[in-house]
A and B are shown apart, each in its own frame.
Chain A
Amino acid sequence: QVHLVESGGGVVQPGTSLRLSCAASGFSFSTYGMHWVRQAPGKGLEWVASFWFDRSNEHYADSVKGRFTISRDNSKNTLYLQMSSLKAEDTALYFCARDTGGIIGNLDYWGQGTLVTVSS
């Protein structure tokens, strides 16, 4: 049974950093692409970043490029999102999601999310 559990969210001040984690279980983590998607309070879904299954490539939304870094540790079955220079507009529920393949772009399993609030 596929299971994704995000952690690391919290209330932080603008300009600071935070690292989110996504612990995966129930599937062969190293053979799937992974994504971060966020949802601001009361708003729709916004793709944030993606990481290829073999760590050969990564992509970012323009809104986070240069500030966020996606990474993965296949030995720990964990996906990360290092967020720096946080802004109020980064406030959102952050979901990790599994790709249906190495990196296809369909997201078939999602965690429950971890809430990041950026506020002074």
Chain B
Amino acid sequence: EIVLTQSPATLSLSPGERATLSCRASQSISFYLAWYQQKPGQAPRLLIYDASNRATGIPDRFSGSGSGTDFTLTISSLEPEDFAVYYCQQRRAWPPLTFGGGTKVEIK
């Protein structure tokens, strides 16, 4: 099973700042990584798929990069609605589909 490790667990930033979230895979997953955003009381929302492709309707302040074992989600300038929990997920070798433990982006 491929394990995804997200860091940091919590990121405290102010609106307008740049957010950089990391996801590391226990073995190479090529580019088969997605990122999801989840706000309290809501379902997850697909942001990025296959490492760097924005899903439909996702603002361009969200970008993804990486391949192999190291991936990054960048939010170029945080908007108030971006404060949420972010999960990475791999589909390189499944089952099982696996998710990272999440990074909470909170207001500083």
Contacts and interface: CB of A to CB of B under 8 A. Distances in A.
Interface stretch (A10-18, A24-32, A58-66, A76-84): A58-66
Q: Is the interface of A mostly helix, strand, loop or mixed?
A: strand
B43 A110 contact: yes
Contacts of B87: 44-45
A48 B32 CA distance: 19
A117 interface: no
A110 B44 contact: yes
B95 to A, nearest CB: 4
Sort chain B's interface into a size bin: 20 to 34
Sort chain A's interface into a size bin: 20 to 34
A9 interface: no
A59 to B, nearest CB: 4
B96 interface: yes
Contact of B97 (A50, A112, A113): A50
Interface in A96-120: 97, 100, 104-113
Interface string B42-64: 11111001100001100000000
Contact of B102 (A44, A59, A109): A44
Contact of A59 (B44, B50, B94): B94
Contact of B99 (A46, A50, A108, A112): A46
Contacts of B95: 47, 50, 59-61
B102 A47 contact: no
A35 B56 CA distance: 20
Contacts of B34: 106-107
B91 A104 contact: yes
